[in-house]
Amino acid sequence: MKTSQPGVVARVPLTRERVLAGAAEIADGSGIGALTMRSLAHALGAKPMSLYHHVANKDEILDALVDLVFSEVEVPSEAPDGWRAAMEARAHGMRAALARHPWAVGLMETRTTPGAANLRHHNATLGVLRRSGFSLDAAGHAYALMDSYIYGFALQEAGLPVGKPDSDPQVVQAMARSIPADELPYLAEMAMDRALQPDYRFSAEFDVGLAIILDGLAGLLPQHPERLLNNPT
């Protein structure tokens, strides 16, 4: 059988789906820096120029990758348990997807044209808020706050030395221990007495911050007239 080649998937016609799936696999496995048109083509058993028959250019691949991450997050439902449970589930789903694909959050800065899954996700989330009694302004505030938090948390997680390919606990320990306690006492304290403790997991911080944010958002509902909806100054 001359079609089979060692280490390469047997001859299968290229499709846009196969190209995008291959791109995601490379980015997940070797980082976004390892994703080149040449490496992608090679992984698919084709030549670089063949890719251009299925995608316009690399930018289109990156746009599609971001939307692929959004498509993995379950769209917020009719909220049988109320808006708070729906927002918690969405936040957890979004953060999990961004943790599975650490390259995604860094890509968002440059990608300005949102994909279909992105739009659908945004629309559904806003829908839950609006139908739960949030005014248009309140829903806007809530969305900006929650998304900033989710994306920023994912950004910090992606930048952490832990959990990455080069995650040598000894290196992390050494880095933290190299903090000069006389010059940076508070940072040294935080590293030694908290972040480096064996039971500490940064990811657990997510729920703490999320609870504070959702508590605050509850105050934007009209049932809580003690807080002004629009201009809290």
Helix ranges, 14-57 (H): 16-30, 37-43
Q: Are 22 and 61 in contact (CB under 8 A)?
A: no
Task: Work out how close the CB of 21 gets to DNA at its nearest, in angstroms, rounded to a whole number.
Answer: 15
| Angle formed at CA 18 by CA 37 and CA 59, multiple of 5 degrees | 40
Calpha distance 169→196 (Å, rounded): 10
Task: Tell me the CA distances in angstroms from 59 to 24, 30, 37, 44, 213, one per residue in order.
Answer: 14, 19, 11, 19, 35
Residue 36 contacts which entry, DNA, a copy of itself, none (Cβ below 5-8 A, type-dependent)? DNA
Q: Which residue, 37 or 44, is less far from a copy of itself as judged by CB?
A: 37
Name which of residues 130 to 169 contact a copy of itself (CB under 8 A). Answer: 130, 136-137, 139-141, 143-145, 147-153, 155-156, 158-161, 164
Binding of DNA by 54 (CB under 7 A) = yes
SS (H, E, C) 59-104: HHHHHHHHHHHHHCCCCCCCCCCCHHHHHHHHHHHHHHHHHHCCHH
Q: Are 161 and 167 in contact (CB under 8 A)?
A: yes
Among 6, 7, 13, 180, binds DNA (CB under 7 A): 13
Residue 47 contacts which entry, DNA, a copy of itself, none (Cβ below 5-8 A, type-dependent)? DNA
**Residues interacting with a copy of itself, by CB under 8 A?**
102, 105-106, 108-112, 119-120, 122-124, 126-127, 130, 136-137, 139-141, 143-145, 147-153, 155-156, 158-161, 164, 179, 183-187, 189-190, 193-195, 202, 205, 208-209, 211-213, 215-217, 219, 232
**Residues interacting with DNA, by CB under 7 A?**
13-14, 35-39, 46-50, 52-54, 57-59
